Structure 1
Amino acid sequence: MDDQNKNLLLATGLSFAVILVWFLMFPPPEQTATDPNATEVTAEVTAPVADPAVADTGTVANAAVTEDAARLMIDTPRVSGSISLMGGRVDELSLKDYRETQDEDSDIVTMLSPLNSANPYYTLFGWAPGQGLSIDQVPGANTIWSVTGNQTLTPDAPITLTWDNGSGLTFRREMSIDENYMFSISQSVENTGGATVSLAPYGVIARHGEPADLKNFFILHEGLIAMTDGELSEVDYDDVADLGYDASQGARAEVTQVSETGWTGFTDHYWMSTLIPEGPFKSVRKYVDQLDVYQTEAVQPTQTLAPGETITADTRLFAGAKEWEAIRTYENDENVPGFLDSIDWGWFFFFTKPIFWLLHTLNAMIGNMGWAIIGLTVVIKILVFPLAYKSYASMAKMKELQPQMEELKKAAGDDRQKMQQGMMELYKKEKVNPAAGCLPILIQIPIFFSLYKVIFVTLELRHAPWAGWITDLSAPDPSSILNLFGLLAFTPPEPGSLLAIISLGVLPILLGVSMWLQQKLNPAPTDPTQQMIFAWMPWVFMFMLGGFASGLVLYWITNNMITFTQQYLIMRSHGYKPDVFGNIKSSFKRKEKAKE
């Protein structure tokens, strides 16, 4: 076997070995359903302390809280929910456009949940007391607000909450929401008393325990996320729990000063809640061990309020789906710098971002994500065609030089140094690069990883159908050879089980066949060991990739078939005519001979 084919085999084997190890070591666990009978959490998280000028309010109120306050409804084309007048908390929010499963009767996705639910996840806003004020003179988590005007929050109708502390301060909170997932919260306080006071506005997102559907998968970040003056920071739940104790916060905490712009919050696989304050603020990440509460906070600078004055602080809250189009609009048109980085693009972001942009554009044109993946494959193959052309032309030239190389081997005998020297001179004379054949497969490695990342993390692939039985391109092929692809009344094993490895669908089988056909463009190597490796490689990859997302397998099948066509035509144009059918026949003849 010549050096060029050895290099190609080595590059292919290494790249897929990495993928195999990655998939086996970090498989996505099965999602566990939320237990509706789980013990109710009754402790409440209150205002943070992140400014030295603000008096210590404490992080956790140990008193139990009973959720019996009135509620204001939230109703937009895309979300529904309610706001509790206790604390003015946004703590019930569901996404109308998304369901938990593809079943039409499935529940819509729950984004935020109140304190008395199985998995509390909510937002709080308020003021931390400074000079001249005590904790009971500012609104906090347990304050009962009054509403004036509208009783339902819609894109066309904001709501206004008020609270009088009885000591000369009147607090107001105006809340509005756009057509997507962005709330605007304007907090103001008017001083009608006779003393100057100071206080600091804050926003809090609190989450009791880890999410019930936590994937905990290597390729995906789930946990706390923040943008600090252009620098993205991601902290997993486990890492938050490992933070050192901060006495000023009364919990394990990390405080970062944002001098210009930024945002902070929680990110899930497809959903996100984020605080976006106006101007500088202190970003606090916090974990309260006693209550298993994760918390992210945005504390704006302390303000001094003289008698007769009114001060205002503005914060936005994003709570919804990580839709690329919506998030890009917020970043570009509504001054949320770096917001697109809330989508986990990974280490190969320089590949994943343009790949997703192209996939999104093609999907908008075609109207089907499966065909968009095929179109993306065609575009990528066009872009790397110059490399492919050089590679396949070099392979054809190497075939032409095969007789001369055999003569060099005979002349050199056992002198490997002489043989290598003679081959290098031959390559130089004929202007052949033996490593050129590795270039297409090497460039495919980051593209493959990037596309896997895009398909796994982006919301637009979730529940996206292609054709026929492929109704979710982010999930493995649901068909199975074990029940003859639906002809038998037998339910295939669930992903993750041992039998699932051999429960191959149509797409993985087509993948194996396409790799096998690609091999047949060249005669099998004469070395028995290399013959065995080549013979098994397509079928090993078929089983290995069988549990991958259908969209990724579709890409790889399309890529293989285009590669087959390119290689066949280019090699023919350079004088070498691949005998595909002859190579297939010879492979079966070798098997029959081996049996004898």
Structure 2
Amino acid sequence: MDNQNKNLLIATALSFVVILVWFLLFPPPETAVDQATAPATEQTADAPAAVSVPGATPGAAPGTAAPEAAIETVRVPIDTPRLDGSIALTGGRLDVLNLRDYNVTMDPGSPNVQVLDPVGSANPYYAVYGWAPGAGLGPEDVPGPNTEWQLEQGDTLRVDSPVTLRWDSPSGLIFRRTFAVDENFMFRVTQAMENTSDTTLAAAPYGILARHGEPADLKNFFVLHEGAIAMSDGKLEETKYKNIRDLDVVPAEGARAEVMQVAENGWIGFTEHYWMTVLIPDAGTSYRQAVKYNEGRDIYQTEIVLPTQTLEPGASAQVSTRLFSGAKVWETIRDYQEAGVDRFVDSIDWGWFFFLTKPIFWVLHHLHQWIGNMGWSIIALTVILKALLFPLAYKSYVSMAKMKELQPEMEKLKERAGDDRQKMQQEMMALYKREKVNPASGCLPILLQIPIFFSLYKVIFVAFELRHAPWFGPFQDLSAPDPTSLYNLFGLLPWAAPEPASTLALVFIGILPILLGISMWLQQKLNPAPTDPAQAMIFAWMPWVFMFMLGGFASGLVLYWITNNTITFSQQYIIMRSQGFKPDVFGNIKSSFNRKKKTAGKSDSK
């Protein structure tokens, strides 16, 4: 049973190694494109193929067709404390949006993050609205993506200062589009249609997000969802870009598409690592939403098509929807959820262990609010997690101490049993039962830490609040790898450490990975090395393998693991001593070096 216990520990450790090898072999690729030198995209969003609109003329569809290249157009400025950008009067589209609070890099002089880009930029990405013509209307009677709108009211879109665009169709119909914005990242777009004719008319309002190609900074990392995201009556749908390209071709849509009917609550759009843009119909609205891909032009689209509006002569109708475009700040998104956006917090990628990642983030967030420093908050979170697991840890370490006390008895049993393994197992089980020792209890805290480790990794990697979050000194971004290394004398020299994916990074590791390796090594020295040479070799190499592998991980995660190891070492040492077993840490360190010398001597003699 003792061997089984050791084998389980080794298997658990090897599982960690396999997972870490995966992280090392498949890190997030560095795919950032220099916006200043990247070639401009000439293709534009084609009109999405027919969307089935109740009451609409067959074949009629919302469209995002735009000029084949950038055009000169009058623009309506957007100016709020957190946003700046503009709305193009050609098409009446929202296609330039920058986030004032966030820079691309840690350098305060770097440009603001731009979430929406116009046609003609390196990565066009924009929101366009319109009406799909129904009974009594043709495509020329409704505003399209190239319609030249006029500014009817307002001159700059500000908080509490909406702007209204107007277009009079050749047939005399009047269309208005009003944009409003709050103090954060939420727009409200109201589309109005006035029937000035003497016949009954019908049209269906729609909204579309069009993205030309994949994002330039796509991480393509398996623990992070990037692509389309949709909520349909409480069901979350996530579709990566590669999976959007693999959707079935829907003849009625004229493109690869997935169409969903929403009864009363939903939203749809695109999400990135830290940014998101989604279309949000008002709660209680029945509508159709779709994810599409135009292969010919490499255009990804998400769209909403609202119920058809039927207007008698002289009547008018208006439909209002919201558009979120900005940073995935948990507190802001939570506030929007409380204001009626169904399950909006789930737009953050909590992962499979959401039942752990959500509460872990909640505690970390409130610790950060109280402490004011994310590094110390991670350390405090680790202390809390270790306190919650302490009852299990106590049983584990008590069991380990008793196992050490029983070691002489176990050696006698092995001598008496000889080669009779069955007899030895039976007598060992009887010994464990008599002494009330459970050898497997030592594994439980280790096994419980695996999902906690992955959940915390997910939180640190995904949560916006960790982006550019400082600790102290050189550690100014806990979502990034350790910026120190021997290459820059651990931050004393004025140049950066090697990139995490480079070969140099495997050699010139930082302070935190080194401290991690030392903390794991010291934790091992609480117990003598296994007598089995193969097991001893695995345990001897493990701290240093972890040290090099974790060099490219987020420094916040490495900080957690160092703190966890330090607390574990202290708990185990104190509890073992309280049970009468005194760990000989220095003796075990000395014996490990003596063993290496003996092994080296035997090799030389051979």
Please report the TM-score for the alignment, with normalisation by the length of structure 1: 0.96
1:304 corresponding residue in structure 2: 310
Letter in 2 for 1:344: D
1:290 corresponding residue in structure 2: 296
2:63 paired with 1:57 = no
Q: Is the 8 A contact 2:73 2:89 kept in 1?
A: yes
2:14 corresponding residue in structure 1: 14
Q: Is the 8 A contact 1:495 1:547 kept in 2?
A: yes
2:352 paired with 1:347 = yes
The 2-side partners of 1:308 and 1:570 are apart by: 84
Residues 315/490 of structure 1: CA separation in 2 closer, same or farther (3 Å cut):
closer
| Equivalent position SS for 2:187 | strand
Root mean square deviation of aligned Cα: 1.8
- Which of 386, 391, 408 in structure 2 is aligned with 1:386? 391
2:429 corresponding residue in structure 1: 424
The 1-side partners of 2:110 and 2:160 are apart by: 29
- Which of 495, 499, 512 in structure 1 is aligned with 2:500? 495
The 1-side partners of 2:216 and 2:8 are apart by: 45
| Equivalent position SS for 2:552 | coil
Q: Is the 8 A contact 1:8 1:441 kept in 2?
A: no
Q: Deviations over 1:303-331 (max 9, x none)?
A: 21111222111110000001100011111
The 2-side partners of 1:534 and 1:65 are apart by: 61
Shift of 1:157: 0.5
Shift of 1:521: 0.7
Letter in 2 for 1:43: T
1:140 corresponding residue in structure 2: 144
Structure 2, unaligned runs of 5 or more: 602-606
The 1-side partners of 2:388 and 2:11 are apart by: 21
Q: What does 1:247-326 correspond to in 2, within 5 Å?
A: 247-278=251-282, 279-326=285-332
Shift of 1:80: 0.4
The 2-side partners of 1:391 and 1:432 are apart by: 10
Q: Is the 8 A contact 2:509 2:551 kept in 1?
A: yes
Q: Deviations over 1:58-78 (max 9, x none)?
A: 556486465222111101111
2:133 corresponding residue in structure 1: 129
Q: Is the 8 A contact 2:67 2:146 kept in 1?
A: no
| Equivalent position SS for 2:137 | coil
- The sequence identity of aligned pairs, in percent, is 63
Residues 547/169 of structure 1: CA separation in 2 closer, same or farther (3 Å cut):
same
Shift of 1:27: 1.2
1:158 corresponding residue in structure 2: 162
The 1-side partners of 2:288 and 2:160 are apart by: 32
Structure 1, unaligned runs of 5 or more: none
Q: Is the 8 A contact 1:45 1:141 kept in 2?
A: no
1:38 corresponding residue in structure 2: 39
Q: Is the 8 A contact 2:483 2:496 kept in 1?
A: no
Shift of 1:243: 1.7
Residues 8/512 of structure 1: CA separation in 2 closer, same or farther (3 Å cut):
farther
Shift of 1:488: 6.1
Q: Deviations over 1:417-444 (max 9, x none)?
A: 0000001111111111110000111011
| Equivalent position SS for 1:541 | helix
Residues 318/488 of structure 1: CA separation in 2 closer, same or farther (3 Å cut):
closer
2:585 corresponding residue in structure 1: 580
Single out whichever of 305-314 and 28-37 deviates more from structure 2. Answer: 28-37
Residues 487/85 of structure 1: CA separation in 2 closer, same or farther (3 Å cut):
closer
Q: Deviations over 1:88-108 (max 9, x none)?
A: 101000001111100111111
1:540 corresponding residue in structure 2: 545
The 2-side partners of 1:289 and 1:568 are apart by: 62
The 2-side partners of 1:39 and 1:387 are apart by: 59
Single out whichever of 101-110 and 241-250 deviates more from structure 2. Answer: 241-250
2:24 corresponding residue in structure 1: 24
Residues 471/228 of structure 1: CA separation in 2 closer, same or farther (3 Å cut):
same
Q: What does 1:161-310 correspond to in 2, within 5 Å?
A: 161-278=165-282, 279-310=285-316
Q: What does 1:80-95 correspond to in 2, within 5 Å?
A: 80-95=84-99
| Equivalent position SS for 1:83 | strand
Q: Is the 8 A contact 2:42 2:69 kept in 1?
A: no
Q: Is the 8 A contact 2:196 2:313 kept in 1?
A: yes
Letter in 2 for 1:57: A
Please report the TM-score for the alignment, with normalisation by the length of structure 2: 0.95
Shift of 1:87: 1.6
Q: Is the 8 A contact 1:272 1:322 kept in 2?
A: yes
Letter in 1 for 2:267: W
Residues 487/324 of structure 1: CA separation in 2 closer, same or farther (3 Å cut):
closer
Letter in 1 for 2:575: I
The 2-side partners of 1:201 and 1:247 are apart by: 22
Letter in 2 for 1:134: G
- Aligned length in residues: 595
The 1-side partners of 2:455 and 2:277 are apart by: 25
Q: Is the 8 A contact 1:44 1:141 kept in 2?
A: no
The 1-side partners of 2:219 and 2:38 are apart by: 22
Q: Is the 8 A contact 1:11 1:441 kept in 2?
A: no
Q: Deviations over 1:7-50 (max 9, x none)?
A: 45324413312322330342111132235341442534446623
| Equivalent position SS for 2:443 | helix
| Equivalent position SS for 1:153 | coil
The 2-side partners of 1:257 and 1:289 are apart by: 24
Letter in 1 for 2:351: G
Letter in 2 for 1:256: M
| Equivalent position SS for 2:382 | helix
Q: Deviations over 1:574-594 (max 9, x none)?
A: 111111122122222223333
| Equivalent position SS for 2:296 | helix
| Equivalent position SS for 2:479 | coil
The 2-side partners of 1:488 and 1:199 are apart by: 65
- Which of 79, 103, 107 in structure 2 is aligned with 1:75? 79
The 2-side partners of 1:377 and 1:7 are apart by: 28
2:604 corresponding residue in structure 1: none
Shift of 1:150: 1.3
| Equivalent position SS for 2:160 | coil
1:433 corresponding residue in structure 2: 438
Q: Is the 8 A contact 1:161 1:174 kept in 2?
A: yes
Letter in 2 for 1:511: L
Residues 78/221 of structure 1: CA separation in 2 closer, same or farther (3 Å cut):
same
The 1-side partners of 2:368 and 2:66 are apart by: 51
Q: Is the 8 A contact 2:474 2:491 kept in 1?
A: no
